[in-house]
Homo-oligomer: A and B are copies of this chain.
Amino acid sequence: MPVPASHPRAEPLARGQRQRLLLRLLRHPGQRQAKRLLARLHPADIAELFALLTPGEQQALLGVLLELRLAARTLRELGSETQRQVFAMTPDGPLASMLGRLTPPDAVDLLREMDEERREAVLALLEPSFAARVRNLMRYGEATAGGLMNPDVSSFSGDLAAGEAVARLRQLAEERRLFYLYVTDERRHLLGIVSLWALVTSASDRLLREIMTRDVVTVRVDMPEEDVAQVFGRYDLLVVPVIDEDGKLVGSISVDDVLDVVEEAATEDLYRLANLDTHETLATPPARSVRLRLPWLLLNLLTAFTAASVVGLFLGTIEKYAILAMFMPIVAGMGGNAGTQTLTLMVRGFALGELDLRKSTSVLLRQMSVGAMNGFLIGLVLALISWLWERNLVLSGILWFASAVNLTVAGLMGAAVPTLLRRLKLDPALGSSIFVTTATDVGGFLAFLGTATLLLGALAR
């Protein structure tokens, strides 16, 4: 993790200026100034710049970064697509020496982006003890506490006096981000934590076990990262110790690592509700975007046919009274909108842990009733407008009825589909919008055209 010393002032303008200047320096002879400037830029800013360069320029910049020992931390900040480009243009040796400068978890993140073969080649070149720590870390699932944590946490004995602890801190390697001491027994079972503040402010002869906090929030190494994020959010923590099944301290997670998890989880919800592949960004090349979106659009097309075939049942009615074809998409569309409202509420509820499956039936009924009430009101407005348009009371009545029915269906399906997916241990957002809108299309067409067919005599005078 970068240390404050490497932080530029964060005014975006200043940052932009530096980047533009650097870009010029890199493109024309000016290496020396470029180096001086690079040394003052934060890796995150260099990474942003990196994406703007041509492969040739990237190669050149990479060389300079290697000299400045900034390459590793810059690489860490790049998007996974750009990272793969860099891997391609960097031999195993330099790549290994870059990774060697990162924390084990950061190194693991990068190694996970490489194919099996390359990964082994690079691992073989890493300093053995570091490589061992990395391999050990890779045993944990990418999306668990084990995948997030930094395993290099020093533990202290409870019998250590505050003064001695401070003395030991002085011997530790640069660890500006160390804010809590973890107190463990000889077998590394976590006994408590001592904040650096408590250490500094207590008499130097007090024992750590006397000043430590015993009742600490911990997370299990196999806890899913979304749950870890919820623990941080719930208890306003900055750092959390990670323990294994025997309560042994195996690492610690800092809240800034969780920030990314929260953003990724939110993006995932958004993307899945819109039937987007989570790997797509605005930077994705068009050809790849097409490939990533096509399967979802095809699935959509097939379900659209299901709805259309319902319309197909009533073509006779439409031939006799074509105006139905005009109002039909309105009834279906309103249902789709109402369904998406409920669906989104449910998906977010699951994501933020506000919703548990035990309450699901009451939630279902509530969402249905909200749908029904909105359907009754929207249907009334629709009926009025259609009456002004067509002056056909029967048509208006059918529109009113069909809207009420379809928005009830919308509330029901909008709540039922994500709940079902969750019960099946699937992501409640995955493909759910497709099922919900299909249901509201079918419901809308069936309720509207079906009733119209029954009342056709009265309808088409």
Interface residues of A (CB under 8 A from B): 1-2, 4-5, 7-11, 40, 42, 44, 166, 169-170, 172, 175-179, 193, 195-201, 213, 215-220, 229, 231-238, 254-256, 258-260, 262-263, 266-267, 269-271, 273-276, 280-283, 286, 289-290, 293-294, 296-298, 300-301, 304-305, 307-309, 311-312, 315-316, 318-319, 322-330, 332-334, 337-338, 340-341, 343-349, 352, 354-355, 363, 366, 369-370, 373-374, 377-378, 381-382, 385, 437, 441
Contact = CB atoms under 8 A, between A and B. Distances in A.
A215 B374 contact: no
A169 B324 CA distance: 78
Given A201-B169, A213-B5, A274-B343, A290 B370 contact: yes
A344 B277 CA distance: 11
Contacts of A301: 330, 334, 378, 381-382, 385
A330 B345 contact: no
Contacts of A437: 333
A200 B235 contact: no
Given A263-B262, A297-B374, A341-B274, A235 B280 contact: no
A260 B10 CA distance: 21
Contacts of A197: 169, 175-179, 196
A10 B235 contact: yes
Contacts of A260: 233
A297 B344 CA distance: 15
Nearest to A434: B337
* Best-surrounded residue of A283, A322, A323 (most CB of chain B within 10 A): A322
A193 B4 contact: yes
B325 A201 contact: no
B300 A329 contact: no
A4 B217 CA distance: 8
Given A201-B169, A263-B262, A235 B42 contact: yes
Nearest to A414: B274
Contacts of A237: 7, 256
B232 A256 contact: yes
A355 B294 CA distance: 24
A166 B204 CA distance: 12
Contacts of A170: 200-201
A220 B11 CA distance: 9
A341 B292 CA distance: 11
Given A4-B193, A238-B256, 12 more contacts: A1-B236, A4-B215, A7-B217, A44-B235, A200-B200, A238-B238, A255-B259, A269-B270, A275-B337, A293-B338, A297-B338, A312-B323
A337 B179 CA distance: 48
B374 A293 contact: yes
16 contacts: A4-B195, A4-B217, A8-B217, A169-B197, A179-B238, A259-B259, A263-B352, A266-B266, A281-B345, A282-B345, A282-B349, A297-B334, A307-B329, A312-B326, A316-B322, A329-B441
A329 B315 contact: no
Given A304-B334, A338-B297, A177 B238 contact: yes
A258 B290 CA distance: 35
Nearest to A180: B4
A311 B275 CA distance: 28
B198 A2 contact: no
A373 B290 contact: yes
> 8 closest Cβ contacts across the A-B interface?
A266-B266, A274-B344, A325-B325, A315-B322, A10-B217, A311-B326, A7-B217, A319-B322
* Best-surrounded residue of A198, A283, A296, A318 (most CB of chain B within 10 A): A318
Nearest to A165: B200
A329 B343 contact: no
